[in-house]
Amino acid sequence: MSHFESPLREPLITGSKTYKQITDDIVRGTEGSLGITWLLSTGVAGLVALFGVFCLTWTILYGIGTWGVNTTVGWAWDITNFVWWVGIGHAGTLISAILLLFRQKWRTGVNRAAEAMTIFAVVCAGLFVMLHTGRPWDVFYILPYPNTRGPLWTNFNSPLLWDVFAISTYLTVSLLFWYTGLVPDFATIRDRSKAGSIRWKIYNILSFGWVGSAKHWERFESLALILAGLATPLVLSVHTIVSFDFATSVIPGWHTTILPPYFVAGAIFSGFAMVLTLMIVARKVMNLQDYITIAHIESMNKILLLTGTMVGTAYLTELFVAWYSGSMIEQYAFANRAFGPYLWAYWIMMSCNLIFPQFFWVKKLRRNIAFTFFASIIVNIGMWFERFVIIVLSLHRDYLPSSWTDYQPTWVEVGIYVGTGGIFMTLFLLFSRFFPVVAIAEVKSILSISGNQARREQMDEVKSDEAYQDVDARLIYKID
Amino acid sequence: MSNNKYWQSLEQFEETPEFKEQANKEFIEELPVFDYVDDATKVESTGRRDFLKMMGISFSAAAIVSSCKIPVNKAVPYVFNLDQSSRIPELMPGVADYFASSYAEGGDFMSVLVKTRENRPIKIEGNTAAPLSKGGTTGRAQASVLGLYDITRLTQPKKKGDSITWEQADTEIANKLASIATSGGKIVVLTNTNYSLATKKALEVFKAKYPTTEVVTYDPISLYAIRKANQTTLGSAIIPTYLFDKAQVIAGFNCDFLGAWVNTTENARRYITNRVPSKENPNMSRHYQFQSNVTITGSKADYKYAIKPSQEKAVLIALYNKLAGTTLASVNIGELQAGVDKLAAELLANKGASIVVSGTNNVDIQLLTNAINGLLGNYGSTIDTTAALNLKQGNDEALKALSDDTSVKAILLVGANPVYDSAFSEKFKNIISKAELSVSFADRVDESAELVQYITPDSHYLESWDVLEPKKGFIAFVQPTINPLFDTRQAAVSLIEFAGDTTTAHDLAQSVGLPFTTNFPTLLGNTAWESALQAGFVASLNEVATGAANVSATIAAINTTLPTSKGLELVVFESIPLGDGKYSNNPYLLEMPDPITRVSWDNYIALPYTFAINNGIQAMSQASTVKTAKVTVNGKEIILPVVISYGQAQDTIAIALGFGRSEGVGQAAFGAGENAYPLIKFDNGTISYAVDGVTYETLNETRKIGLSQRYHTLQEDSNLPGRPRRYRSNIVKEANLTDYRKSDSAGNEDRASIKEHLTTLYKSYDSLGHHWSMAVDLNACIGCGACVISCNVENNIPVIGRKEMSNTRSMHWMRIDRYYSGDPDNPDVAFQPLMCQHCDNAPCENVCPVNATSHSSEGLNQMAYNRCIGTKYCANNCPFKVRKFNWYDYQGGDAFGAWNDHTDATYMLNDLTRMVLNPDVTVRSRGVMEKCTFCVQRIQSAKLTAKSDGRKLKDGEIQTACQTACPTGAITFGDRNDKNSEIHHIFYDSGRNYHLYEEQHFLPNVGYQVKIRNTDEKPNFTFIGALEEKA
């Protein structure tokens, strides 16, 4: 892993850590008593999750009639939430796969948590795929398995079917990727615990008998690369396919070719925002500031700025294309978004996703934790509204004015959404307590080149060099 | 053939006595009938619950045994060939029998065919052979079959709420009647218009026995003034037949002659004959309408004017003045004069070929229309006084006199419910409570029956025998299609029983003595009787109108004093779905949206547009939650939700009748709207449905109403700055007659270029064999909604209730969209029936992940309910939103039955009501999508018949449910690949045909024909005013 890195780069691990300290810092979170804060927050999250389960049960018992959807607006919060959760799940693969291939070292600090978040988000998204149907008990019809129903087979023309394949593939690959990375770290935890104790046994099973031999590491590295290669197209394909649900339809506002790139950018946008929200809390609560540094946050903010601007460009392009197409219904669909009965939703979307990220042009704000936290939440609100705008605002005004309606959610729909938040948080809290939140092995791998002590040494080496005479060393060391 | 005898058991081989005994039994085990019945019931009279239990057992037993016989052995199925030696066909399971019968209600009469399956009536069809309605029906006729299976119906006679036997009822009532009659006490039989010869005969018998009897007839919605005026003009108090097909100019004054007047089904058929121009005959009559509240008739008019009820007389006088060139009285009608001048000029140009009608129950107004018709020479040319109608015989003055009569000792309510539907509710309450004997023949505990001593429930018309004479020269029959479900008895039979006679209903019908014996000498013979019964009618009608009017006497009788209007005026009107309210416990009817306001499940305060805006009502609120208001008339208050009725006259308020029933009327009707009958008043010899001196107050409350169309125009509401609001004129295409005469494709000019640009990247397939298609003529559609109910009944469409309707989750497979254009204060109206368009390039089909919806080789878009998992993707992707989702379990077709109480619509969840379900159509469970199938069960059945006959299908052999119900023939269905079919002709030869959003290449199999208005002006599409109010 060693290569030359400019000493000017900000260190990715601060606090002059040793390898032992890294292990201690990260594994500490999984050891000791559970702690009142964790118990309380998990309890609250669990209750919210239970309420979600209650609302889901209510839906199954009474029917989708308990939701606010109607004949004209057949999808609303259900698919909005589905797309939103899938979008959130995008940061994980991007960080673990694409950033790995692009050798972005800063990913090591956040990839573990981002991957976990991906999996939990996809689980929540999957719930909506199953339960937005009228007969969830028959949902297995969607799988093309050999059956006794003669010529009845799934419809391979349907984007919804592609969705099922895309999401399940994504979940599988993400899970593998995540778990593979966890194996050496589980072994670390195992090795720190009392041999033969229950804890030891559990982590022994989880680590698949990892001993850290060179052969293990070689295979580990190869597998990581292969999975990264496999996962990379998924980053693009999953949300592309989700966007096909809309793009291949005939509803004005859905039927646009710009949707795939726009959805992928939006997914990365919201995924990073969610990683930021979680990591800003986690680094503080779990004392991981040395591993998830301001540099990490700034990098992610740069991605927010980039993808936010891409999404915003897509919004404006849609408006332009609607005007340029000359299509009456297309023009109306966008006029209705911006100036119709739900214009507030459109302008929330516009301001949260296009306008707000522009603040990140300012370096000070990029490095401001409070502002970043606020922005990350704003972005996720904006991205939720983006999906709401696309789904509800396109459906409620389509071809025949006679079928135009409005839509209002019921407590059941809101409950399910809030409940998936609870499920997500419960899973994440369990993860943060029992799994190493930062990839120990990977962080260690960059300590010698990106740790702040390494930077100091590199700086000392080059200090005599004339070319670096003017460098303000304070910039480099101030983080210490 | 082997002679081996196989045995199934040792017992059989040995022929043990036990085996022999067992073998002779029909069921191995005793049927557990009595397990379900408590001990008291086994010996004593049956309670209602036990009765229903018994019913359930009997029906299932009957189904198991499958040895059902035709219920009434003398009924003759319509399709049965009399030449066969056996008169009574064996029941063929799975094959429908049709019985000719008649549906009479309110101001309407229809000859119908009753479809029975396994002896259950399940559908009403129009009888195309009958001369009056010629196959046309109304929504109420279509829904009447559900009324048979109403759980609220009484199951046996009642005495003060307790069940009694018929013997007890007969004895006690006859004894009381006898004692009252001997002491000279007054006996009153109060009926609604009844042209049943059986009842007439029964009343004769009754009167002969009890000479102190007085028969009073009234109608909840009375047209007494027409008869009274005709007494002067024609010399007899009749209602003539109006031949709208022979008129070139039609002028209606507050007269909904297509929807709610008298003889509307025949009127609609005649009217539309001359309103659909074609290439061969590019002509149509011109229709003027002066109306206070918006009606479907007014919506079909070419020129319409909003008048306050108090203005009607002045307008008619102005018209008369203009026509006669004299001054009957000097009137000033302001802006309306221009319209009157235009109308007068055209009437004069079409003397003897015009009709002027008024629906107002006011003698002076009726005399004025008579005078105008007389002046124009319409009697004997467009008005046939020979074929006088027996509909609407109610006498307002007699009702008034009776209500003031304090000497009534006995009152028998034969189909009448004066406590609910007369202007004298309180007085009748008094009469009923004071009478020594009060009997109601109601089939349920209605508002009047609540108060009477005895209820002797009448049977449903599908369980009865009757002979009706709706029109002079036309006799129609009612025959039972099922044995009475409950212990009920036809009113005519009850009357005869009370008179001590014992004739059965059937013999009664035969003994009525038909008045045609001279024309039909063989009628008295048994064969003739049966063939007449099979046809459903006998007629000797002459299509040539006769009659002459005494114009001078008419004019002399007119009181020309103009009414002075005080403030706001209220119009109470007959609702199109519910009529006068007699059948308002029918959930199909309650759920049928009003054709104009598209509101179901409630009546409402309809306000004119400008007035509403001035009173703080949002014009295009687009929400189902609306404000309520209070209307006060003569100290009586009514609080109802407010709905804007665009085109209603300023300073008028309109409220529909037929709502606000009591709890005893039934689960569906109770709680639906408020009763507006108390607001009507008796005025100058007639009952007036327009009242002035009304105060209105918008309340600070809101209510959810079942609004099934929230956006009312084709004009878009929001716009990008700088982009003009567009009108989607490609949805309802319109042109005027002048342009149509110039070009067959007027209003449809863009179609040529659209067709030219239609290209596809995909391989297209030749359509071989059948290609089912439907054409809807926008000119012929009057928006009455009969098709919607017919579709409901045919296709087992669930009723979902007010709450779900307000959530815009209507399950109707077809709906009639109503669009406004023009001035919001007096807009043009267009109706557009919309069902699944069966697109050949259907957007719904390719998005279903499980292939639950697919295309047939015959052009049908099919649904496989069992395969559907309910993603709703297809519905989202449907450009026309005709796919309907089962949000809840509405019909008990679901494994989650215990949970279906979550919907407020449980009307279809009991076993009795479920008997109406069509066994040919799957009952859909919760969570699946459904939609119009083009009545695929009818297509399949006709194909099978043709196949077993070894012949090709004939054009017109397959008729969809909506098509058969339509009184104006607006719907055509057929195989467009058949070059000789009507649909082929419409699709390929008519310039009027177009498809929805053709440029999007959905390739719908439903075509619409351009709406042609007979106006001098071009169609005006803007609706700006109302839209701006929204912001």
Tens digits of per-residue pLDDT, B609-620?
989 888 888 776
Alpha-helix runs per DSSP H in A286-410: 294-325, 328-339, 343-350, 363-366, 369-388, 394-395
Contact status, residue B406 vs residue B184, Cβ threshold 8 Å: no
pLDDT at position B539: 81
The C-alpha atoms of residue B715 and residue A227 are separated, in whole angstroms, by: 55
**Choice between B304 and B77, residue whose per-residue pLDDT is larger:** B304
Alpha-helix runs per DSSP H in B25-128: 39-43, 48-65
Q: Within this chain, do residues B823 and B703 fall inside the same structural domain, yes or no?
A: no
* pLDDT beyond 80 at B511: no
| Residue B395, amino acid | N
* pLDDT beyond 60 at B156: yes
Q: Within this chain, do residues B808 and B679 fall inside the same structural domain, yes or no?
A: no
Report chain B residues whose CB lies below 8 A from the CB of A341: 622, 718
pLDDT at position B872: 93
Tens digits of per-residue pLDDT, B811-821?
999 999 999 98
Q: Within this chain, do residues B703 and B789 fall inside the same structural domain, yes or no?
A: no
Nearest-by-Cβ selection for B719 from A335, A341, A406? A335
Q: Identify the closest residue of chain B to A244 by CA–CA distance.
A: B847
Q: Within this chain, do residues B663 and B580 fall inside the same structural domain, yes or no?
A: yes
* pLDDT beyond 80 at B547: no
The candidate with the shortest Cα–Cα distance to B888, out of A392, A76, A82, A69, is A69
The C-alpha atoms of residue A97 and residue A93 are separated, in whole angstroms, by: 5
pLDDT at position A328: 84
Query: Under an 8 A CB cutoff, do B847 and A248 touch?
Result: yes
Contact status, residue B321 vs residue B332, Cβ threshold 8 Å: no
Please report whether residue B554 resides in a domain.
Answer: no
pLDDT at position B515: 41
CATH of the domain at B763: 3.30.70.20
Q: Within this chain, do residues B768 and B676 fall inside the same structural domain, yes or no?
A: no
* A471: alpha, beta or left? (left if phi > 0; alpha if psi -120 to 50): beta
Total domains in the fold of chain B: 4
Query: Under an 8 A CB cutoff, do A63 and B622 touch?
Result: no
Contacts for B298 with CB less than 8 Å, ≥ 6 apart: B252, B256, B289, B291, B304, B647, B829
> Any bridge partners for residue B253, and if so which?
B290, B358
Residue the block writes with tokens 């670096």: A468
Quote the minimal CA–CA distance from B949 to chain A in Å.
31
Backbone angles phi, psi at B134, to 5 degrees: 45, 45
Q: Is B880 in CB contact (< 8 Å) with chain A?
A: yes
| Contacts A–B by Cβ distance under 8 A | 195
Predicted confidence band at A321 (pLDDT cuts at 50, 70, 90)? very high
**Structure token digits, residue A79:** 């698919």
- Name the CA dihedral angle for B456, B458, B464, B469, rounded to a multiple of 10 degrees: 120
The candidate with the shortest Cα–Cα distance to B362, out of B416, B287, B309, is B309
Q: Within this chain, do residues B1009 and B932 fall inside the same structural domain, yes or no?
A: yes
Contact status, residue B607 vs residue B642, Cβ threshold 8 Å: yes
Contact status, residue A63 vs residue A433, Cβ threshold 8 Å: no
Nearest-by-Cβ selection for B869 from A65, A135, A153? A135
pLDDT at position B618: 79
Report chain B residues whose CB lies below 8 A from the CB of A133: 869-871, 927
**Structure token digits, residue A334:** 């966008």
**Structure token digits, residue A434:** 């029992």
* pLDDT beyond 90 at B838: yes
Predicted confidence band at A378 (pLDDT cuts at 50, 70, 90)? very high
How many Cα atoms are found within 13 Å in the side-chain-facing hemisphere of B170?
16
Contact status, residue B394 vs residue B685, Cβ threshold 8 Å: no
Residue that finishes a domain, picked among B341, B376, B411: B376
Q: Is A165 in CB contact (< 8 Å) with chain B?
A: no
The C-alpha atoms of residue A161 and residue B908 are separated, in whole angstroms, by: 35
Please report whether residue B194 resides in a domain.
Answer: no
Please report whether residue B140 resides in a domain.
Answer: no
Q: Within this chain, do residues B662 and B806 fall inside the same structural domain, yes or no?
A: no
The C-alpha atoms of residue B665 and residue A72 are separated, in whole angstroms, by: 34
* pLDDT beyond 70 at B901: no
Predicted confidence band at B6 (pLDDT cuts at 50, 70, 90)? confident
**Structure token digits, residue A117:** 């978040």
**Structure token digits, residue B831:** 């109706």
The C-alpha atoms of residue A306 and residue A310 are separated, in whole angstroms, by: 6
Predicted confidence band at B876 (pLDDT cuts at 50, 70, 90)? very high
Contact status, residue B618 vs residue B635, Cβ threshold 8 Å: no
Kindly write down the DSSP assignment for every residue of B483-503, as one continuous string: --SSS---HHHHHHHHTT---
Contacts for B37 with CB less than 8 Å, ≥ 6 apart: B50, B53, B54
Q: Within this chain, do residues B362 and B282 fall inside the same structural domain, yes or no?
A: yes
Which range is least confidently modeled, A445-449, B59-63, B108-112, B364-368?
A: B59-63
Report chain A residues whose CB lies below 8 A from the CB of B867: 141, 152
Please report whether residue B726 resides in a domain.
Answer: no
* pLDDT beyond 90 at A390: yes
Predicted confidence band at A4 (pLDDT cuts at 50, 70, 90)? low
How close are the terminal C-alpha atoms of chain A, in Å?
A: 24
CATH of the domain at B288: 3.40.228.10
What A319-324 contacts at long range (C-beta under 8 Å, 24+ apart), as own/partner pairs, is A321/A256, A321/A258, A323/B720
Kindly write down the DSSP assignment for every residue of B536-557, as one continuous string: TEEE---SS------HHHHHHH
pTM: 0.87
* pLDDT beyond 70 at B517: no
Contact status, residue B403 vs residue B427, Cβ threshold 8 Å: yes
**Structure token digits, residue B915:** 């008997």
Tens digits of per-residue pLDDT, A93-125?
787 788 877 777 788 888 888 889 999 999 999
Please report whether residue B969 resides in a domain.
Answer: yes
SS (H, E, C) B837-856: CCCCCCHHHHHCCCCCEEEC
Residue that finishes a domain, picked among B50, B65, B80: B65
Tens digits of per-residue pLDDT, B164-195?
998 899 889 999 999 998 998 899 999 999 88
- Region B418-433: mean pLDDT is 91
The C-alpha atoms of residue A8 and residue A4 are separated, in whole angstroms, by: 12
Q: Within this chain, do residues B815 and B919 fall inside the same structural domain, yes or no?
A: yes
Tens digits of per-residue pLDDT, B86-130?
444 556 677 888 889 999 988 889 999 999 887 889 999 999 988
Tens digits of per-residue pLDDT, A153-163?
889 999 999 98
Please report whether residue B406 resides in a domain.
Answer: no
* pLDDT beyond 50 at B17: yes
pLDDT at position B507: 64
DSSP-based three-state secondary structure for B305: strand
Residues of chain B with pLDDT > 90: what percent?
Answer: 46
What mean pLDDT, rounded, does chain B reach?
85
Radius of gyration of chain B, Cα coordinates, nearest whole angstrom: 29
Backbone angles phi, psi at B655, to 5 degrees: -135, 135
The C-alpha atoms of residue B463 and residue B484 are separated, in whole angstroms, by: 5
**Choice between B909 and B982, residue whose per-residue pLDDT is larger:** B982
* pLDDT beyond 60 at B832: yes
Selected for mutation to probe chain B from A392, A405, A410 (highest B CB count within 10 Å) is A405
The C-alpha atoms of residue B1018 and residue B1021 are separated, in whole angstroms, by: 9
Neighbours of A434 (CB within 10 A): 13
DSSP-based three-state secondary structure for B110: strand
Interface of B with A in 836-875 (CB under 8 A): 843, 846-851, 867-873, 875
Which range is least confidently modeled, B101-110, B709-718, B827-836?
A: B709-718
* pLDDT beyond 60 at B889: yes
Q: Within this chain, do residues B992 and B857 fall inside the same structural domain, yes or no?
A: yes
Burial class (CB in 10 A: 0-12, 13-18, 19+), A60: middle
The C-alpha atoms of residue A369 and residue A361 are separated, in whole angstroms, by: 15
* pLDDT beyond 60 at B368: yes
Quote the minimal CA–CA distance from B883 to chain A in Å.
7
How close are the terminal C-alpha atoms of chain B, in Å?
A: 88
pLDDT at position A477: 47
Selected for mutation to probe chain B from A67, A153, A400 (highest B CB count within 10 Å) is A400
Q: Within this chain, do residues B702 and B747 fall inside the same structural domain, yes or no?
A: no
Q: Domain range holding B54?
A: 10-65
Query: Under an 8 A CB cutoff, do B871 and A399 touch?
Result: no
Predicted confidence band at B26 (pLDDT cuts at 50, 70, 90)? low
Q: Is A327 in CB contact (< 8 Å) with chain B?
A: no
Contact status, residue B152 vs residue B799, Cβ threshold 8 Å: no
Query: Under an 8 A CB cutoff, do A153 and B726 touch?
Result: no
Please report whether residue B938 resides in a domain.
Answer: yes
Predicted confidence band at B317 (pLDDT cuts at 50, 70, 90)? very high
CATH of the domain at B632: 2.40.40.20
Residue that finishes a domain, picked among B309, B342, B376: B376
Any idea how long chain B is? 1031
Orientation of helix B363-375 relative to helix B224-233, angle to 10° = 50
Burial of B203-225, coded b for 16+ CB within 10 Å and e otherwise, reads bebbbebbebbebbbbbbbbbbb
Predicted confidence band at B2 (pLDDT cuts at 50, 70, 90)? low
Contacts for B779 with CB less than 8 Å, ≥ 6 apart: B272, B275, B276, B277, B284, B970, B1009, B1011, B1012
Quote the minimal CA–CA distance from A402 to chain B in Å.
6
Interface of B with A in 727-746 (CB under 8 A): 728, 731
| Residue B368, amino acid | L
Nearest-by-Cβ selection for B847 from A68, A158, A395? A158
pLDDT at position A250: 92
Contact status, residue B617 vs residue B833, Cβ threshold 8 Å: no
Q: Within this chain, do residues B776 and B643 fall inside the same structural domain, yes or no?
A: no
The C-alpha atoms of residue B374 and residue B433 are separated, in whole angstroms, by: 48
Please report whether residue B190 resides in a domain.
Answer: no
pLDDT at position B786: 93
Query: Under an 8 A CB cutoff, do A63 and B817 touch?
Result: no
Interface of B with A in 781-810 (CB under 8 A): 804, 807-810
Q: Is B891 in CB contact (< 8 Å) with chain A?
A: no
Quote the minimal CA–CA distance from B622 to chain A in Å.
7
Q: Is B832 in CB contact (< 8 Å) with chain A?
A: yes
DSSP designation for A351: I
Q: Is A148 in CB contact (< 8 Å) with chain B?
A: no
**Structure token digits, residue A359:** 């603040």
Q: Is B89 in CB contact (< 8 Å) with chain A?
A: no
Domains of chain A: 24-143+154-447 (1.20.1630.10)
Contact status, residue B957 vs residue B943, Cβ threshold 8 Å: no
Report chain B residues whose CB lies below 8 A from the CB of A58: none
Contact status, residue B813 vs residue B835, Cβ threshold 8 Å: yes
Burial class (CB in 10 A: 0-12, 13-18, 19+), B236: exposed
